[in-house]
Structure 1
Amino acid sequence: MKFHWFHLMPWPDLPDDFQKKHRSVWVDVDYNLFDAERCNALYHEYLDELEFAEKVGFDGICVNEHHSNAYGLMPSPNIMAATLTRRTNRAAIVVMGNSIALYNPPLRVAEEFAMLDVLSGGRLVAGFPVGTSMDTNYAYGVPGAQLRDRYYEAHDLIMQAWHEKGVTHFNGKYNQVRYMNPWPRPIQQPNPPVWIPGGGSIETWEWCADMGYLYSYLSYSGYKRAQTIMDGFWKRMTDKGIEPNPYHAGFAQTVCVAETEAEAKELYWPHIDYFYNRCLHVYPGFADAPGYRTLRTVKAGIKSQFEQAQQNAKARLTWEGLVEQGYVVAGPPDKVVAKLNELSDNLRVGHLMVLLQMGSMPRDVAMYNTQMFAERVMPHLKDKFNDFEDRWYPKMMPAPERAVPIVQEKDQARVAVAVGGGGQ
């Protein structure tokens, strides 16, 4: 298995009465709740956590894109990813991702992802989400009925930009580019691995199966409620006669590791409660714009992750309820290992995106959770699925051939001198 440290970068200072006095955490969230100087500190805390995740052995570090909200402070994940390329040197840079239907033209995505792939030495994972209704339909004004058409056209433009050599043109319904000749091009040829984050749409998992892209189911309702979605994905694979390779799929799971059950609740419950009851407080009218979900998905009764979250918030789930129902995998390391074994077997996922910082969780608690997971959970699961080839992980330049910042070179030289005993 591979493990990826997924950061949402939430705003941690929403008031206790946020649900009662404010309509939504997304789209029309009150700007008076934002403090730019406080956010300056938060960005650096959050980047510290991502960089720490690489140091303790995670295979990837993940960022993503959202707009006009306090749920996640990354309208441009590419900026965060670029920062991480300079301060890390081993982990995959997983951008989950750029909402490609929102770019005009999407050529910008091809260019910026290529820059990130080159900067990182071929460590990029290119995520192409359709995007939430709040981001795409309301914050950026794309009509729900156009969203998927724009998405597929944007995908085709980006792939043409990466695959075709020299100057080409693109003449689509929504995008017309007479001279398409992006510089630079990605290190990974013909393109970086493509991961598609999805919230449950039937068409998304079918498209991933058809295109050979990794399908990553992102849900805050936990692994038990994800079974129907992942069963649908694997059925599509079976119907197409494709090997059910676990690395073809990913899943996001909230995890809280501690020495005991009591310590887990004491450390993490205030921040998990904050996340589920403030960060997911989305006005229902924003969560599902007309046309956002396809007719097939509606008929199948599959709800978006944020509609599910609304139901959760109304139920005011307790810590014990969230853990019992699988929303949160929590407790001492042996219990967490057992639950993640169950998750990976039942859902058949080889890439696990773990949410180890949630809501209002401060840096020291997030780093404790991260270190506990890396040292006492990951080693027991690393060898799982070793019989399968992972074709969805970046093909990086060999480490000795990758450029590093001069500060890192000096640090490495100092270490070499100290180890060799040649210091003054």
Structure 2
Amino acid sequence: MNVTLFHLMSYADLDFEATKEYETVWMKLPNKFYDPVKGHKLYNRYLDELEYAETLGFDGVAVNEHHQTAYGLMPSPVVMASALARRTQRVKIAILGSALPLREHPMTVAEEYAMLDVITGGRLIAGFVRGIGAEYHTFGLNPTISHERFHEAHDLIVQAWTQPGPTSFSGKHYNVDYVNLWPRPFQNPHPPIWVPSQGSKETIDWAAHPDHRYTYLQTFSPAKAVQKYLQSYRDTAEQFGYEADDSQLGWAVPVYVADTDEQAIKEAREPFELFRNRLLKMPFEMLLPPGYSSRDSLKRIMAAKAMLSQDLTIEMAIDMGMLVCGSPATVRQQLESHWNEMHFGNLLTMLHFGNLSEELTRRNMDMFAKEILPGLQTMKRAAPAQASA
């Protein structure tokens, strides 16, 4: 299994008491509550933590994209990946991902990703997302055309990466007479493509298609929902006539390790509950505006998230598999149990969440790397027995 350190870069210094009157920290929270001096320290702290992951032996580091929110301070994950490109030597750098429909032009993404891939000597993982509904409010874009903009942008990017130029591209949203990428990607035919999702049927069908076979990542969700969506990917691949490899599946989950279960819960309680009940929370119509998903996908996502409309305690989150938390023995047991049920080939660990302090984040990373990481990296399913002659 490949294990990646995934960082959301939340605004951990938010005054939660002063902002409690606001329904959400997304889009509507006045930016007077952002202090650039504190932000300067946080950005550099978070980049240090990602760089430290290479020293600890992680297989990769991952950043993502959100806009106008204290939930995550990365409106441009390419900037974060660029900062990491020259400060790391071995780890894969995953951008999870650029929200293609929000970009003015996908050729910019193609160029920036190719630059990063060349600079790192082929260590880039190219993540593509549509962006959650709140991003469409932020940019004033029509969510009903997000799918077609996403697919068309993807097609143009892959063409730019793989077809000798100059070529041309003609679509509904993008028309380019000269598709002639300089530089071309380092990896051939292009960097691996990962697709994070909330569980949209359309996304699963598209990612699993034989023409793609992209790695599908289920984002922060209860373990039973994760298992359901990963199995849906496998079932879809089977309908297409092939067996999905474990490497095509991934799960992103917060993890916290301490000496004992009691200590872990005590230390993680406030940061996790702030993360889940304050930073993540937004009105349903902001998360999934009309037209953002098909009716079938909306039903699936609503069913999975119906139980999550209320605030959760850390104990509830652990029971639901939304947080892996405890002593090294407990965390190993929980992750091994989840892997035995799902057989995901990629685990994206969120070892910082909410306002978890730098001291506790580092200790969490150290304990995870020493006690948990080596065992996870050797986990794989046994090869099928060969029939005797």
TM-score range, shorter chain: over 0.9
Give 1:128 deviation, angstroms.
Answer: 0.5
8 Å Cα contact 1:97/1:128 also seen in 2:
yes
Q: Which residue of 2 aligns with 1:382?
A: 377
| Distance across 2 between alignment mates of 1:133 and 1:167 | 35
Q: Is the 8 A contact 1:18 1:278 kept in 2?
A: no
| Mapped partners of 1:114, 1:303: distance in 2 | 37
Q: Tell me the SS of whatever aligns to 2:152.
A: helix
Question: CA separation in 2, counterparts of 1:377 and 1:189?
Answer: 33
- Counterpart position of 2:216: 215
Q: Distance in 1 between matches of 2:139 and 2:340?
A: 39
SS of the aligned residue for 1:377 comes to helix
Q: Distance between the aligned counterparts of 2:71 and 2:234, measured in 1? A: 31
TM-score by length of 1: 0.86
The answer to whether the 8 Å contact 1:114/1:186 transfers is yes
Deviation at 1:176, TM superposition (A): 1.3
Letter in 2 for 1:64: N
Residue 365 (structure 1) aligns with: 360
Q: Deviations over 1:2-55 (max 9, x none)?
A: 100000000113333467400221122211111111100000000011011111
What is the 5 A alignment of 1:114-153?
A: 114-135=114-135, 137-153=136-152
Matched, 1:175 2:170: no
Summarize the Cα distance change of 1:71–1:18 in structure 2 as closer, same or farther, 3 Å threshold.
farther
Provide the secondary structure at the position in 2 that maps to 1:81.
helix
What is the Cα deviation at residue 75 of structure 1?
0.4
Tell me whether 1:272 sits opposite 2:267 in the alignment. no
CA, structure 1 residues 304+351, in 2 after alignment: closer, same or farther (shift >3 Å)?
farther
Partner SS, residue 302 of structure 1:
helix
Contact 1:71 1:280 in 2 (8 A): yes
What are the equivalent positions in structure 2 for 1:110-259 lying under 5 Å apart? 110-135=110-135, 137-210=136-209, 211-219=212-220, 221-259=221-259
SS of 1:49's partner is helix
Report the Cα distance in structure 2 between the residues aligned to 1:304 and 1:27, rounded to whole angstroms: 25
Pairs within 5 Å for 1:305-384: 312=308, 315-384=310-379
The aligned counterpart of 1:55 is: 55
Report Cα offsets for 1:253-273 as digits up to 9, x if no partner: 111111101210222111111
Partner amino acid, structure 1, of 2:339: S
8 Å contact from structure 1 (residues 200, 303) kept in 2: no
Are 1:161 and 1:181, in contact at CA under 8 Å, matched by a contact in 2?
Answer: yes
Contact 2:96/2:128 (CA < 8 Å) preserved in 1?
yes
CA distance in 2, matches of 1:89, 1:53: 12
How many angstroms does 1:141 deviate by?
A: 2.2
Structure-1 separation of matches of 2:40 and 2:143: 34
8 Å Cα contact 1:215-1:250 kept in structure 2 = yes
CA distance in 1, matches of 2:317, 2:300: 23
> What amino acid is aligned across from residue 381 of structure 1 in structure 2?
L
How many residue pairs end up in the alignment?
Answer: 381
Change (3 A) 1:207 1:80: same
Q: Deviations over 1:176-224 (max 9, x none)?
A: 11222121111001100000011110011111110211101112x3323
2:13 is aligned to 13
Structure 2: unaligned runs, 5 residues or longer: 384-389
CA-CA distance at 1:347 after TM superposition = 1.8
Alignment gaps of 5+ in structure 1: 389-424
Q: SS state of the match for residue 69, structure 2?
A: coil
Deviation at 1:285, TM superposition (A): 2.6
Q: Report the AA paired with residue 319 of structure 1.
A: I
State the distance in 1 between where 2:185 and 2:105 align: 18
1:49-91: per-residue Cα shift (whole Å, max 9, x none)?
1011111000000000111111000000001101101111010
Please give the alpha-carbon distance, in whole angstroms, between the structure 1 residues aligned to 2:348 and 2:302.
21
User: Counterparts of 1:39-118 in structure 2 under 5 Å?
Assistant: 39-118=39-118
Q: Judge conservation of contact 2:168–2:179 (CA < 8 Å) in 1.
A: yes
> What corresponds to 2:386 in structure 1?
none
Shift of 1:227: 2.1
Query: Which residue identity is paired with 2:294?
Result: T
Does the CA contact (< 8 Å) of 1:223 and 1:253 recur in 2? no
CA distance in 2, matches of 1:17, 1:225: 32
The letter for the 2-side match of 1:365 is: L
Post-superposition CA distance 1:134-188 (Å, at most 9, x none): 11x2112221210000000000100111111121121211111122212111100
Shift of 1:238: 1.9
The Cα of 1:320 is off from its aligned counterpart by 1.7
* Residue 29 (structure 1) aligns with: 29
State the shift of 1:382 in Å. Answer: 1.7
Please give the root-mean-square deviation of Cα atoms over the aligned residues, in Å.
Answer: 1.7
Report the Cα distance in structure 1 between the residues aligned to 2:164 and 2:270, rounded to whole angstroms: 53
Q: 1-side partners of 2:154 and 2:18: how far apart?
A: 38
TM-score with structure 2 setting the length = 0.94
